[in-house]
Amino acid sequence: MDLTKIKDPSFLKDMQIKELDELAIEIRSFIIEKVSKTGGHLSSNLGVVELTIALHYVFNSPEDKIIFDVGHQSYVHKILTGRAIDFDKLRKYKGLSGYQKRNESIHDVWEAGHSSTALSATAGFEIANLEKGIKNKTIAVVGDGSLNSGLSFEALNYLGHYKGIAPIIILNDNEMSISKNVGRMSKLLNKLRSSKMYVKAASSKTRAPKFIYNWKVRLSNMIRGFAGNISLFDELGFSYYGPIDGHDIKSIIKFLNIAKRRRKPIVIHVVTKKGKGYLPAENDHLGTWHGVSTFDIETGKITDKNNGKLITWSRIFSRHIDSYAKKHENFRVIVPAMIYGSDLVRFQKKYPKNIIDVGICESFAVCFSASLALNDMMVYIPIYSSFLQRAYDQVSHDLARQDLKIVIGIDRAGLVGSDGETHQGIYDIAYLRHIPNIEIVQPSNYREAKMLLDYAFYQAKHSVAIRYSRGTSLIQTLDDLTPITKPTWNKHINNGNVNLIAYGDNFKRLYDHIKKNKLPVNIYNALFIKPFDKKVVDEIFNSNLPIYVLEDVTKLGGLGSSLLEYATEQNYTIKDFHILGLPDEFIEQGTVKQIYKQYGLDTESIIKTILK
């Protein structure tokens, strides 16, 4: 069928199982074709094709609420709700979001770019339905990795024992079983629990005497325990079904209908294959095909790789930390489920004892790291800017308040592009700057990255957060590095009639442009965002020249705000001071160049502004 002509999921109701299976094949081919051209989350979406079809076949969206945890596996949902026609602009500027987006469709009832929020959201929808007397169902589709998060456990604890609500949790297990099931007894038990007789008995309003009921429950648990089928969910008050083949539409529909009829919390455990239908993705054990750029379908080769002279910032830092693992037995890297994303696969193979992956548990990662530091361990924790904000309390309460020292690599700092507003790293300076006992730095090149890491580990007295973008930098030699022993800014005086302050990638691009065109602009490389180099800052304010501060974050709370506060404290007369940064709003997807152009932060616009 022509997927671009789908308006809503109602057409599924009249289809036979064979037709649904054929539709799954078509959708899978469609996703592979489109994502090969746009980039996006491939493996996770290929893995939930049959599951998503079955959900929309059994339930009535949007009256029944389908909530995808994280949301990056909602491509099939988007297709079935009438958005296939827009897939050529998936994750593109002014195009279709890569996540559920409420202003895109009435079928997108919850938005999330971070994991583990779906169960808490489900609790809200369920309680609201109870208060309003609404009988519609709420279904959360949650990956096995998301259940590591404390937020998921908090929600499970609440949902399982709240009387009168009946949430349905689809546990999408694409890596390992939550409960080990052994032998024929387990299969018989699952068959028993899906039978009409069992469902009728379980939902009957006629209650057996209490002692008989208790005996029945104990006997059931004894049998299930013997079969190895008791799960965490049973203990938390859920009826648990599974594991079920997540690519068998008929079987999924059967269990979804059981859950639909029951009036109690249900967990349906489906086992799926990430990347199903595309062999390179199926055979991926590292996460290479989780989120991909454009690729050639026939060969599976990525088509927009950098040339050999450029290297990603993630790889720069993973290379640099090699030296600390080599020299220090007490050196540890703590990673919250991003070994591949932070380019630490090679490091893990080389130093398996020096790296600890704690799963999708950012708060735990920071608190754990603080405790390690208290016990004389050297700790490096690479974490995406937008994920670090999930651990704000631990950074403040457990790390900085106790004045413990770790080094935080803030990956994906600044604009990240196609992942959109949930992943833009444009708030970390603001939420870290006001916390005592923490320093914030950012290199503009390969050599500066090593110098700042050395400073952080060997010279700094407090925790240091080192920012770096999703972009690339030139590979450089590490010969004759000048040690950094204190907060330092580098100044490049060009007999200018204006002072421009920048840091990171922004400094590099503006410095190159100013140098190439011999522009009369004094440009300063603010290696230290907090604390800054007060000697150089005093020189800048005393120059009486116009001052421009270029941020890769929001104007509110960035380096510019910090400099204004300092000027006020020192009674400097502020006549011509300008902050060039992002506005007080969430920034949608697009390339970094497109977004900078939109907000007048591209190189041409900046130079035109400061020289006008």
Active site residues: 274, 362, 390
Smallest CA-to-CA distance from 544 within 573, 518, 565, 523 is with 573
Q: Are 496 and 468 in contact (CB under 8 A)?
A: no
Three-class SS state of 222: helix
Helix 534-542, helix 559-569: angle, nearest 10: 70
Structure tokens at 608: 């035109």
Q: What are phi and psi of 348, to 5 degrees?
A: -65, -40
Residues written for the chain: 612
Cis amide prior to 243 (ω within 30 degrees): yes
DSSP 8-state code for residue 322:
H
CA torsion sign for 365, 366, 367, 373 is positive
Residue the block writes with tokens 């050196």: 331
Structure tokens at 108: 């997108």
Distance between CA 148 and CA 337 in Å, rounded? 10
Burial 390-401 (b: 16+ CB within 10 A, else e): bbeebbbebbbe
Distance between CA 416 and CA 589 in Å, rounded? 8
Q: Is 204 exposed, middle or buried (0-12, 13-18, 19+ CB in 10 A)?
A: exposed
Q: Are 31 and 23 in contact (CB under 8 A)?
A: no
Distance between CA 462 and CA 200 in Å, rounded? 63
Distance between CA 407 and CA 420 in Å, rounded? 27
Beta 547-554 vs 577-582: how paired, if at all? parallel
DSSP 8-state code for residue 242:
E
The helix (H) or strand (E) run that includes residue 77 is helix 75-78
Q: Are 561 and 578 in contact (CB under 8 A)?
A: no
DSSP string of 106-164? TT-----SSSS-HHHHHHHHHHHHHHHT----EEEEEEGGGGGSHHHHHHHHHHTT-TT
Distance between CA 57 and CA 139 in Å, rounded? 13
Q: Are 275 and 282 in contact (CB under 8 A)?
A: yes
Residue the block writes with tokens 């001071």: 577
The helix (H) or strand (E) run that includes residue 541 is helix 534-542
Q: ∠ CA(58), CA(138), CA(362), 5° rounding?
A: 125
Structure tokens at 167: 């949430």
Distance between CA 560 and CA 406 in Å, rounded? 26
Long-range contacts of the stretch 296-301 (C-beta < 8 A, 24+): 296/36, 297/32, 297/33, 297/36
